[in-house]
């Protein structure tokens, strides 16, 4: 999926904090990504 | 570097509780906070875990071992480490055998796991698409081993691999379940899917098994999405459990993807790759992509702007940024972005007059830009035009009442302008805006220090050091404030601490030497002063200290020779000799050569 071009340099400033929503999304994404590992760790 | 916080972990636990229908609570928050501080540990001013992988590893090991959650310690530890790597621009890929690593960490009593974990994280983290391809390939190959062995009916080998990866030796009850299931599978060749819907207790096993068999389709969709990879091809891949050609296909596709990036001349893809690399903090590789984009894009200006931005904001290299923005200016001479960016870079390079030319143009284009006003304030401050600086910072605050930098700039400009009360007011407001920022306390300390209010300065330096115990400038200033306020003995450990961090710091050497001279510990003072002179043989202050030490340790002729040389090069020194501070020149003041010096 192509992204539209962003022309301001501000894009490159890295995030140094997370809102609760961003963090929630990130965690869920990681849990989905490694569901095999985390599911198994949840069992033991 | 982003460090996970206690709030982050609380949310991780909340999400895990939701997903696994559990009710995990933190037993001891203090212990957890201790674990979160661990990656930041400094020893003698040096970071004990300087690399991201080391930090993530010690975090995972500590959270696993302190066992301060009612349940789910291993999984929360792993997730926190993975989150830390993610937040700092990396993509960790965890194969099944991660479970083994996690269990081994929990069982290890020797504190020797972090090296292994660190290596593990390093090998399994991608910071760019090329690394991702390489890791995915390894990862896929590893899990296809199982399928290949299964197809070859080498069930006992499958079992021993699964046994090792899944840590069945530590959790034998799970091995039993595995054995039952695998026997059924072998016997009945029941469709895995059917099995899972029929018997929900096997759901976990189905997932595990299904993921081994089906492998990476799901993973790949997610990785492709995350990295914006143009690899629709990968998602087209059908994982057919009856043959092994997928492995070859996968290899080919990954190689093709890598080649696409390497060889492509499609500006859209080069641009996209540059943006991905930049977003992941891979600045140098991002710059090289944008350099490539300059060649293949119809209009090179966007690429030039990106390179300039990366130099300025990521590399903190204003000089290179300026060079690129100057080229960009030829394409977009009238854009607000051009004049603003050049103005910022020139300000950082302390070319204030030139910067003001650009910033004033920028302000005409956008009269409400708080950033332009902030940089203008910094320029006027640098040019010592404090009234104008104050006016710019105030305008900036009127647009952005929470601008930390504008408040801080205003406090400094008022101080330089001799407006003590106003400066103090803005120092306090700066602290109010961000009470956790040690710079504010340090600046306030410096402000008191420069006005000779040493006791107040010491209080602020103390607060700063509580937050940043290793901040070199604060340590030295604390020492000098203590020494100047007569607490000379107290000052010495601060200078010594500073010299541990930087043995050649000229101010620390000079301050320690002078403080020891005031304490009449002339032999001790000789060491730092001699070091200072060795580093800069033209330093007149060090020479003077040398002369004082010689005068007080019986080397009168050496002392006089130095003083004669000093008076010739700097006549103001005579006044100091006449003042004879703390009677330092008493041993030589009656000699004829000394008297002659004062004439």
Distances (CA, A) of B401 to B397, B414, B430, B536: 5, 18, 11, 46
d(CA B184, CA B430): 69
Checking if the pLDDT of B530 tops 50, the result is yes
**Inter-chain touch A40–B211, beta carbons under 8 Å:** no
List of chain A residues whose C-beta atoms are within 8 Å of the C-beta of residue B308 = 9
List of chain B residues whose C-beta atoms are within 8 Å of the C-beta of residue A10 = 309
Q: According to the model, what pLDDT value does residue B145 have?
A: 66
Most confident of B197-206, B248-257, B371-380, B554-563: B371-380
Structure token pair of residue B536: 């800069």
- Residue A9's pLDDT band (cuts 50, 70, 90): very low
3-state secondary structure B550-575: HHHCCCHHHHHHHHHHHHHHCCCHHH
* Structure confidence by residue, pLDDT tens digits, B398-427: 999 999 999 999 999 999 999 999 999 999
Contacts of B399 (CB under 8 A, 6+ apart): B368, B369, B370, B373
Angle between helices B113-124 and B52-66 (to 10 degrees): 130
Checking if the pLDDT of B494 tops 90, the result is yes
Q: According to the model, what pLDDT value does residue B168 have?
A: 76
Checking if the pLDDT of B462 tops 90, the result is yes
d(CA A31, CA A37): 9
Q: According to the model, what pLDDT value does residue B178 have?
A: 59
Taking CA–CA distances from B12, the nearest residue in chain A reads: A27
* Cβ-contact B13, B69 below 8 angstroms: yes
- Residue B323's pLDDT band (cuts 50, 70, 90): very high
Distance from CA of A4 to the nearest CA of B (A): 9
Longest dimension (CA), chain A: 49
Pairing of strands B91-92, B125-126: antiparallel
d(CA B16, CA B10): 10
SS3 B28: coil
Q: According to the model, what pLDDT value does residue B367 have?
A: 92
* Cβ-contact B49, B58 below 8 angstroms: yes
Distance from CA of B416 to the nearest CA of A (A): 32
Nearest Cβ partner for A37 among B98, B275, B279: B98
* Cβ-contact B154, B308 below 8 angstroms: no
Q: Which residue has the higher pLDDT, B299 or B345?
A: B345
Taking CA–CA distances from A26, the nearest residue in chain B reads: B83
Distances (CA, A) of B344 to B27, B279, B318, B389, B409: 49, 22, 9, 15, 15
Among B4, B10, B12, B142, pick the best mutation site for testing chain A contact (most A Cβ within 10 A). Answer: B12
Question: How many Cβ pairs closer than 8 A exist between chain A and B?
Answer: 123
List of chain A residues whose C-beta atoms are within 8 Å of the C-beta of residue B89 = 14
* Structure confidence by residue, pLDDT tens digits, B39-91: 999 888 888 999 899 999 999 999 999 999 999 999 999 999 999 988 887 88
d(CA B513, CA B49): 34
Torsion, Cα B589 B593 B595 B599, to 10 degrees, reads: -150
- For residues B233-251, average pLDDT: 40
Among A3, A4, A9, A26, pick the best mutation site for testing chain B contact (most B Cβ within 10 A). Answer: A9
* Cβ-contact B474, B443 below 8 angstroms: no
Lowest mean pLDDT among B86-100, B169-183, B365-379, B534-548: B169-183
d(CA B478, CA B485): 11
List of chain B residues whose C-beta atoms are within 8 Å of the C-beta of residue A9 = 305-306, 308-310, 312-313, 337, 341
Q: According to the model, what pLDDT value does residue B176 have?
A: 64
Taking CA–CA distances from B309, the nearest residue in chain A reads: A9
Taking CA–CA distances from A33, the nearest residue in chain B reads: B219
Q: According to the model, what pLDDT value does residue B238 have?
A: 33
The CA-to-CA distance between both ends of chain B, in Å, stands at: 61
- Residue B194's pLDDT band (cuts 50, 70, 90): very low
**Inter-chain touch B204–A31, beta carbons under 8 Å:** no
Q: According to the model, what pLDDT value does residue B330 have?
A: 94
**Inter-chain touch A34–B82, beta carbons under 8 Å:** yes
Please name every residue paired with B26 in a beta bridge, in sequence order, or none if there are none: B69
d(CA B99, CA B597): 81
- Residue A30's pLDDT band (cuts 50, 70, 90): confident
d(CA B278, CA B127): 10
List of chain B residues whose C-beta atoms are within 8 Å of the C-beta of residue A19 = none
- Helix ranges (DSSP H) in B192-282: 192-198, 203-214, 217-226, 232-236, 245-263, 267-279
Torsion, Cα B427 B431 B437 B443, to 10 degrees, reads: 20
Taking CA–CA distances from A7, the nearest residue in chain B reads: B302
Please state the separation of Cα A24 from the chain's center in Å. Answer: 9
* Structure confidence by residue, pLDDT tens digits, B354-366: 999 999 999 999 9
Among A6, A20, A27, pick the best mutation site for testing chain B contact (most B Cβ within 10 A). Answer: A27
Residue indicated by tokens 């103090």: B424
**Inter-chain touch A7–B305, beta carbons under 8 Å:** yes
Lowest mean pLDDT among B24-33, B127-136, B252-261, B273-282: B252-261
Q: Average per-residue pLDDT in chain B? A: 82
Contacts of B91 (CB under 8 A, 6+ apart): B85, B125, B126, B127, B132, B223, B226, B227, B280
Contacts of B186 (CB under 8 A, 6+ apart): B155
Q: According to the model, what pLDDT value does residue B571 have?
A: 78
Q: According to the model, what pLDDT value does residue B282 have?
A: 73
- For residues B512-532, average pLDDT: 92
Q: According to the model, what pLDDT value does residue B131 have?
A: 63
Checking if the pLDDT of B188 tops 80, the result is no
Say what the pTM is.
0.54
Structure token pair of residue B172: 């034998």
Q: According to the model, what pLDDT value does residue B264 have?
A: 74
Distance from CA of A12 to the nearest CA of B (A): 6
Q: Quote the percentage of chain B above a pLDDT of 70.
A: 79
Checking if the pLDDT of B263 tops 60, the result is yes
Q: According to the model, what pLDDT value does residue B515 have?
A: 93
Q: Which has the closest alpha carbon to B375: B395, B387, B429?
A: B395
Q: Angle at the Cα of B223 (from B218 to B228), degrees rounded to 5?
A: 130
Most confident of B18-32, B135-149, B276-290: B18-32
The top-level CATH class assigned to B6-127 is mainly alpha
Rg of chain A taking only CA atoms, in angstroms: 16
- Residue B24's pLDDT band (cuts 50, 70, 90): very high
Nearest Cβ partner for A9 among B204, B275, B308: B308
Domain boundaries along the sequence of chain A: 18-43
Domain boundaries along the sequence of chain B: 6-127, 130-263
**Inter-chain touch A39–B204, beta carbons under 8 Å:** yes
d(CA B25, CA B13): 8
Q: According to the model, what pLDDT value does residue B30 have?
A: 93
Backbone torsion region of residue B143, taken as left when φ is above 0, otherwise alpha when ψ lies between -120 and 50, otherwise beta: alpha
Q: According to the model, what pLDDT value does residue B230 have?
A: 35
């Amino acid at each position: 999926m192509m992204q539209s071009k962003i022309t301001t340099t501000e894009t490159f400033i890295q995030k140094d904090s997370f809102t609760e929503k961003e963090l929630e999304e990130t965690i869920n994404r990681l849990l989905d990504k490694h569901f095999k590992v985390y599911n198994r760790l949840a069992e033991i | 570097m982003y460090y996970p916080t206690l709030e982050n972990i609380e949310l991780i636990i909340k999400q895990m509780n939701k997903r696994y229908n559990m009710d995990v609570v933190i037993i001891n928050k203090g212990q957890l906070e201790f674990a979160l501080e661990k990656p930041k540990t400094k020893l003698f001013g040096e970071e004990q875990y300087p690399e991201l992988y080391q930090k993530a590893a010690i975090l995972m090991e500590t959270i696993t071992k302190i066992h301060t959650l009612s349940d789910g310690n291993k999984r929360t530890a792993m997730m926190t480490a993975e989150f830390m790597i993610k937040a700092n621009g990396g993509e960790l890929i965890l194969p099944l055998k991660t479970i083994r690593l996690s269990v081994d960490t929990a069982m290890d009593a020797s504190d020797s796991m972090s090296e292994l974990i660190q290596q593990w994280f390093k090998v399994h983290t991608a910071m760019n698409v090329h690394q991702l391809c390489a890791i995915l390939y390894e990862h896929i190959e590893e899990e296809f081993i199982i399928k290949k062995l299964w197809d070859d009916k080498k069930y006992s080998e499958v079992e021993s691999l699964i046994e090792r990866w899944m840590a069945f030796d530590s959790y034998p009850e799970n091995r039993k379940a595995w054995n039952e299931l695998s026997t059924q599978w072998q016997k009945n060749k029941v469709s895995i899917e059917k099995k899972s819907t029929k018997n929900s207790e096997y759901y976990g096993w189905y997932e595990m098994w299904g993921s081994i068999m089906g492998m990476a389709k799901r993973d790949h969709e997610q990785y492709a999405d995350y990295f914006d990879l143009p690899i629709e091809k990968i998602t087209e891949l059908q994982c057919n459990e009856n043959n092994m050609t997928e492995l070859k296909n996968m290899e080919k596709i990954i190689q093709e993807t890598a080649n696409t990036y390497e060889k492509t001349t499609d500006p859209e893809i080069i641009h996209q790759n540059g943006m991905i690399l930049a977003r992941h903090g891979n600045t140098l590789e991002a710059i090289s992509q944008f350099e490539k984009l300059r060649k293949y894009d119809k209009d090179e200006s966007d690429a030039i702007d990106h390179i300039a931005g990366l130099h300025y904001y990521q590399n903190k290299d204003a000089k290179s940024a300026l060079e690129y923005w100057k080229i960009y200016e030829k394409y977009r001479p009238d854009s607000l972005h051009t004049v603003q960016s050049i103005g910022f870079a020139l300000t950082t390079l302390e070319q204030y007059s030139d910067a003001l030319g650009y910033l004033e143009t920028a302000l005409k284009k956008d009269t409400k830009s708080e950033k332009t006003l902030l940089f203008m304030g910094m320029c006027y401050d640098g040019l010592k035009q404090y009234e104008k600086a104050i006016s710019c910072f105030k305008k900036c605050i009127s647009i952005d009442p929470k601008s930390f930098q504008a408040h801080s700039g205003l406090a400094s400009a008022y101080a330089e302008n001799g407006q003590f009360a106003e400066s103090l007011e803005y120092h306090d407001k700066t602290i109010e805006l961000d009470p956790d920022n040690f710079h504010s306390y340090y600046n306030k300390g410096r402000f008191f220090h420069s006005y000779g209010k040493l006791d107040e300065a010491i209080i602020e330096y103390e607060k700063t050091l509580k937050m940043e115990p290793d901040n070199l400038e604060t340590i030295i200033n604390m020492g000098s404030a203590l020494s100047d306020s007569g607490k000379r003995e107290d000052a010495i450990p601060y200078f010594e601490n500073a010299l541990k961090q930087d043995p050649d710091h000229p101010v620390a050497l000079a301050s320690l030497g002078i403080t020891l001279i005031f304490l009449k510990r002339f032999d001790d003072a000789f060491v730092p002063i001699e070091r200072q002179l060795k580093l800069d043989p033209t330093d007149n202050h060090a020479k003077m200290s040398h002369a004082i030490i010689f005068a007080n340790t019986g080397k009168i002729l050496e002392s006089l020779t130095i003083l004669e040389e000093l008076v010739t090069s700097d006549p103001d020194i005579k006044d100091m000799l006449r003042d004879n501070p703390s009677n330092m020149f008493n041993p030589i003041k009656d000699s004829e050569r000394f008297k002659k010096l004062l004439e």
